A = this chain, B = another copy of it.
Amino acid sequence: MIKIDLPEKMEFTASLDAVKTILDHALLQSDDLVADIMRHLTLANGKNFRAMLLLAASTDKDGYVPRNAMISAAALEILHLATLLHDDVIDDAEIRRGQPSIQNMFGKKSAVICGDYLFCKCFLLVADMSAQFQERFKDIAKAMTKICMGEFRQFKHNGDTSLSVRDYFRIIAGKTSALFSLALYSGAIVGGNDEKEARCLARFGYYIGMIFQLMDDCMDYETDYLTAKKSVKHDLAEGVITLPLIYAIYKKPELKDVIKNHTPTASELNSIISDVLALGCVDTTRDVAERYYQKAKKTLKQIQDEKKRILFSGILEKIKTRKF
């Protein structure tokens, strides 16, 4: 399927550009029917953060990334894109990556089919590796299952002001950590690491996924709606309840009544956000992220390859300060 000439291995930074090329190529080489939608998806290019994680996990002692890792990374980004398309259908999201979402621009039905189409693309990309890496498909299918369940749990608890902390963690473990964990595990395996090292990286991936999402949910309560690509006001307006708000409801149960049974108005939203900040609930959420940060650091020490340890230490710091 991939007609691009890829060398057997590439230096880490260069490999990220290669993934972007594979990605654009895979999206643009599509059936005429979906060409417009695929073109729109290449315009609103994401940061390919999950791809970067996979590539980093696959590096050898000299910092080189094998060919199969680049293809896997592109497949992972396509899988992520597919889930975003369906998420936007479920959440009625109007904006994605600073552009009108597919469901908004082309309609929900097109978004459903195109999400399915992207799942196929993902599997086609990795299909060639099935003999070499037997377990890859099971991993992808398992991660996809977790993502589905995370999304479904979020949807079921939409507007649920009684959402428990436990259920919140189950939601974000599915919607973010599952794919981060898969990225690191797959990268490690494709890069020739042993099972123990791969599992260690997978666990690290799980932790940074949790930090990533927790910080994201904090930022949602601190970002100006007009400048944010995807703002909290929007999330909350869609009934998505995150940890800062759960804590705030514990401290000030009256907040429930504002949210319950109707979409909050702009002024209600502003007042809720002020409360969440004033009650220190964003700080408490950051403390939770800090605990995952400590766990991630501990796990990092168990990674045997020193170069990789340094690489992921840098990534961890950036995630903690949300520089990605």
Contacts and interface: CB of A to CB of B under 8 A. Distances in A.
A225 to B, nearest CB: 25
Contacts of A115: 116
A84 to B, nearest CB: 12
A137 to B, nearest CB: 5
B124 A138 contact: yes
Contacts of A33: 149, 152-153, 156
Contacts of A260: none
A145 interface: yes
A4 interface: no
Interface in A108-164: 108-110, 112-117, 119-121, 123-124, 126-128, 130-131, 134-138, 140-142, 144-145, 148-149, 151-153, 155-156
Contacts of A123: 123, 137-138, 140-141, 144
A117 B149 contact: yes
Interface residues of A, number: 42
A92 B130 CA distance: 37
A34 interface: yes
A194 interface: no
A34 B123 CA distance: 24
Given A89-B109, A108-B108, A119-B119, 9 more contacts: A33-B152, A33-B156, A112-B112, A113-B152, A117-B148, A123-B137, A127-B135, A130-B136, A130-B138
